[in-house]
């Protein structure tokens, strides 16, 4: 399959995470120039950029109001424009402690989760969209979560942020579609990143496998391949959709 990405520039935020790295590698393997958005670990991002070849590292801090603009400006200065935007970065906040009721969580704990994870994505899309419209071609993928649509105890605020991405994509598809820009949401289920492999108890992974039709958990590459297709020329008319990568869950 010809993805026609050899002349495209891709900005992937959260590129030093398990799923983000797999996405960056997938685009680089197809000849795209990849900008690796990172928050704190510049060394890790630079090492990945060196490994991929046609790649650069750019700082993208979700909790910095100017973070999106600085990252997009840096990519434009280095590469001339952004053809594909993959919003994979996520700033975690405190989780609701076990036994604590939802209504007892103070705004000081949950408001930053919303402010740091929704507004920066919307702002970044506002910044990359004009160039895509001008070129008559663009692809946007917003990384959500299976939990946003299936629910999970104690995940109300996380679920609210991730589900909001779908509502955003559904409406944006109407605005951007006539200009050749397709926008979709990819919602991974529990994914076997290095962190999940090392920190999640085996009995929980086994429980999740037992409740998954395919009998296995997704790999980061499973997610990356889905994003790659949706953000390539191979996707000619899929937009405003939520694609779940969770083995049928």
If one counts every other C-beta atom within 10 angstroms of the C-beta of residue 247, the result is: 19
Q: CA-to-CA distance for 22 and 36, rounded, in angstroms?
A: 12
Nearest residue to 90 via CA among 67, 117, 112: 117
In the CATH scheme, what architecture does the domain 9-245 have?
3-Layer(aba) Sandwich (3.40)
Report CA-CA distances (Å) from 224 to 49, 191, 229, 246: 17, 11, 9, 13
Distance of alpha carbon 144 from alpha carbon 76, whole angstroms: 26
Which runs of E-coded beta strand occur in 109-190?
138-143, 181-188
Of the CA atoms within 13 Å of residue 31, those in its CB half-sphere come to 8
Separation between Cα atoms, residue 31 and residue 25, nearest integer Å:
10
Token representation of residue 65: 């109001």
**Domain range list for the chain:** 9-245
Give me 180's structure tokens: 């050749």
The SS3 call for residue 241 is coil
Q: How far apart are CA 65 and CA 78, in angstroms?
A: 22
Q: Which residues, 6 or more positions from 134, have their beta carbon under 8 angstroms from its beta carbon?
A: none
Residue 198 pLDDT? 82
Greatest extent of the chain over all pairs of C-alpha atoms, in Å: 52
Q: How far apart are CA 172 and CA 151, in angstroms?
A: 24
Measured CA angle at 83 (ends 77, 88), to 5 deg: 95
State how beta strands 33-38 and 55-59 pair.
parallel
87 three-state secondary structure? strand
| Distance, CA of 114 to CA of 63 (rounded, Å) | 11
Residue 151, SS3 per DSSP: coil
Q: The whole model's pTM is what?
A: 0.95
pLDDT tens, N- to C-terminus, the chain (249 residues): 889 999 999 999 999 999 999 999 999 999 999 999 999 889 999 999 999 999 999 999 888 889 999 999 999 999 999 999 999 998 887 677 778 888 988 898 889 888 989 999 999 999 999 999 999 999 999 999 988 888 887 788 889 999 999 999 999 999 999 999 999 999 999 888 988 888 888 988 899 899 899 999 999 999 999 999 999 999 999 999 999 999 998
CA separation for the pair 33, 227 (Å, rounded): 16
Residue pair 110/155 in contact (Cβ under 8 Å)? The answer is no
Do residues 248 and 212 lie in contact, with contact meaning Cβ atoms separated by under 8 Å?
Answer: yes
Known catalytic residues? 158
């Amino acid at each position: 399959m010809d993805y026609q990405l050899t002349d495209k520039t891709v900005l992937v935020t959260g590129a030093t995470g398990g799923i983000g790295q797999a996405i960056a590698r997938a685009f680089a393997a197809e000849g795209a120039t990849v900008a690796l958005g990172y928050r704190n670990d510049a060394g890790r991002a630079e090492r990945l950029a060196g490994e991929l070849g046609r790649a650069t590292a750019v700082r993208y801090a979700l909790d910095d109001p100017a973070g999106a603009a600085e990252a997009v400006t840096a990519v434009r200065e280095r590469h001339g424009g952004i053809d594909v935007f993959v919003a994979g970065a996520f700033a975690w906040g405190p989780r609701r402690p076990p036994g604590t009721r939802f209504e007892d969580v103070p705004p000081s704990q949950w408001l930053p989760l919303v402010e740091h994870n929704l507004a920066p994505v919307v702002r970044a899309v506002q910044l990359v969209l004009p160039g895509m419209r001008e070129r008559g071609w663009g692809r946007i993928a917003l990384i959500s979560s299976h939990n946003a649509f299936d629910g999970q105890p104690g995940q109300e605020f996380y679920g609210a942020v991730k589900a909001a991405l779908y509502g955003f994509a559904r409406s944006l598809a109407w605005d951007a579609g006539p200009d050749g820009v397709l926008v979709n949401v990819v919602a991974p289920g529990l994914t076997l990143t290095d962190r999940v492999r090392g920190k999640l108890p085996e009995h929980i992974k086994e429980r999740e496998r037992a409740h998954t039709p395919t009998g296995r958990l997704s790999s980061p590459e499973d997610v990356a391949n889905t994003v790659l297709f949706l953000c390539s020329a191979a996707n000619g008319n899929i937009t405003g959709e939520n694609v779940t990568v969770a083995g049928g869950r």
